[in-house]
């Protein structure tokens, strides 16, 4: 029995994690979980799952819930997340939070001797070097939930690391892969949210449309697998059937394929190297799909992908500034405040304008995050005028 703390239970990855746990009640147990403001969803989850502790964003929600569920202890806000991650009665933290808010709970879990199943890629984008150091110091492991990284993790099983030549991360190209830059000027939020292959949360679907997400995934792969940026390639593959590949030094390429169903990477992050049954309504049927397509990514069409390589290589505060500016710009676009292409402008300008600084501790990261956030907001206000 693996005991879990699940952060971000009401989101897309969170609800699918609950589904995986309910498919295997003899193997997994959720001892604590968090949601943000979606109290209705929380109540649904509490019909099936009986945690000892729950964290919500709002203190009034926490107080009201404590009346209804006296057997559960309720905490709130960001401190509550790290509190759950630091508990001593569980084995693996499942971090399905969205954004920089996921960083401190990941660090808290590692520092209290827990492994982490990570869907919160921003944790590694902003503070990869601090997480990497903490994992080594405490002898803990990170298990990827991101589908590309789960694929790579699966392709690396049973092989020698010294034989690895490069990682090949596949990219669907998101909702606008067939649109020219000219056509991108007037796209709407609704169009951006209609991803052709994957059903995901709103923030990541927008990040996929401008390929910031793929840039983040390159950085995530760099820290997860300790591979140089020169040895991580992105390959456009519109069907999202091959979730990623690795090439070995004899040029043998190993790929992982599957239906676009996040429950597989979630479950494998919790079961590896074992595999358990997983019910799927539509498992992969290659004969039905027939043809798979591949092409090189065009970095002029998707400048944020190139920027992520640049920020990753540069390191220091640049990745955290990039992430913060993106969080602000992504949200402003979803709120209808700025056009789609302004996201790129804001993120690129923030990264270039920010004076370079080394990151030595969490405070440096928080400072970089605030710098990127406030610079992006200044630009957003200018655009709104
Ligand atoms: Mg992914």
Each residue's pLDDT, cut to its tens digit, for the chain (385 residues) gives 999 999 999 999 999 999 999 999 999 999 999 999 999 999 999 999 999 999 999 999 999 999 999 999 999 999 999 999 999 999 999 999 999 999 999 999 999 999 999 999 999 999 999 999 999 999 999 999 999 999 999 999 999 999 999 999 999 988 898 899 999 998 999 999 987 787 788 999 999 999 999 999 999 999 999 999 999 999 999 999 999 999 999 999 999 999 999 999 999 999 999 999 999 999 999 999 999 999 999 999 999 999 999 999 999 999 999 999 999 999 999 999 999 999 999 999 999 999 999 999 999 999 999 999 999 999 999 999 8
Q: Which among 151, 164, 105 has a CA at the least distance from the CA of 268?
A: 151
Q: What are phi and psi of 158, to 5 degrees?
A: 75, 10
Q: Cα(68) to centroid of ligand 1, in Å?
A: 37
Q: What are phi and psi of 55, to 5 degrees?
A: -115, 135
Token pair belonging to 186? 């007037």
Q: Give the pLDDT confidence score for residue 31 in this predicted structure.
A: 98
Q: Cα(67) to centroid of ligand 1, in Å?
A: 39
Q: Cα(10) to centroid of ligand 1, in Å?
A: 19
For the beta carbon of residue 83, count every other beta carbon within 10 angstroms: 19
Q: Give the pLDDT confidence score for residue 198 in this predicted structure.
A: 77
DSSP states of 266-286: HHHHHHTTS------SS---H
Q: What are phi and psi of 200, to 5 degrees?
A: -135, 180
Write the DSSP symbol of residue 35.
Answer: -
pTM for the model stands at 0.95
Q: Cα(148) to centroid of ligand 1, in Å?
A: 5
CA 311, CA 304: separation in Å to the nearest integer? 10
Q: Cα(89) to centroid of ligand 1, in Å?
A: 30
Question: What SS3 state is found at 134?
Answer: helix
Q: Cα(382) to centroid of ligand 1, in Å?
A: 32
DSSP states of 51-113: -SEEEES-HHHHHHHHHH-TTSEEEEHHHHHHHHHT-SS-SEEEE---SGGGHHHHHHHHHTT
Q: Cα(71) to centroid of ligand 1, in Å?
A: 37
Token pair belonging to 86? 């630091």
DSSP states of 280-312: -SS---HHHH-----B---TTTSHHHHHHHHHH
Contact 309, 211 (CB under 8 A): no
Q: Cα(339) to centroid of ligand 1, in Å?
A: 24
């Amino acid at each position: 029995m693996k005991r879990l703390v699940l952060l971000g239970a009401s989101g897309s990855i969170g609800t699918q994690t609950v589904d995986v746990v309910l498919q295997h009640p003899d193997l997994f147990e959720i001892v604590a979980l968090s949601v943000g403001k979606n109290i209705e969803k929380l109540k649904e989850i509490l019909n099936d799952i009986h945690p000892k502790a729950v964290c919500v964003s709002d203190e009034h929600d926490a107080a009201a819930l404590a009346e209804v569920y006296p057997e559960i202890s309720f905490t709130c806000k960001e401190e509550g997340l790290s509190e759950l991650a630091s508990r001593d009665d569980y084995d693996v933290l499942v971090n399905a939070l969205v954004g920089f808010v996921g960083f401190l709970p990941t660090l808290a879990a590692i520092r209290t001797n827990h492994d982490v199943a990570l869907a919160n890629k921003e944790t590694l984008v902003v503070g990869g070097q601090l997480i990497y150091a903490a994992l080594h110091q405490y002898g803990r492991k990170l298990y990827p939930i991101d589908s590309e990284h789960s694929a790579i993790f699966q392709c690396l099983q049973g092989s020698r690391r010294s034989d690895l030549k490069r990682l090949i991360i596949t990219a669907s190209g998101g909702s606008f892969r067939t649109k020219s830059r000219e056509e991108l000027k007037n796209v709407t939020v609704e169009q951006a949210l209609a991803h052709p292959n994957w059903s995901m949360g709103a923030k990541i679907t927008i990040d996929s449309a401008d390929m910031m997400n793929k840039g983040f995934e390159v950085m995530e792969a760099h820290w997860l697998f300790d591979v140089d940026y020169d040895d991580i390639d992105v390959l456009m593959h519109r069907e999202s059937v091959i979730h990623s590949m690795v090439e070995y030094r004899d040029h043998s390429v190993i790929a992982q394929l599957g239906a676009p169903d996040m429950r597989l990477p979630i479950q494998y992050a919790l079961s590896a190297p074992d595999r358990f049954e997983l019910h799927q309504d539509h498992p992969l049927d290659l004969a039905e799909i027939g043809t798979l397509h591949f092409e090189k990514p065009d970095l002029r069409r998707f400048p944020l992908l190139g920027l992520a390589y640049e920020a990753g290589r540069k390191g220091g505060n640049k990745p955290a500034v990039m992430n913060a500016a993106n969080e602000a710009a992504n949200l402003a676009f979803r709120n209808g405040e700025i056009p789609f292409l302004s996201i790129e402008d804001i993120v690129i300008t923030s990264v270039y304008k920010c004076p370079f600084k080394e990151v030595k501790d969490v405070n440096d990261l928080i400072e970089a995050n605030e710098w990127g956030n406030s610079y992006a907001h200044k630009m957003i206000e200018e655009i709104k005028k």
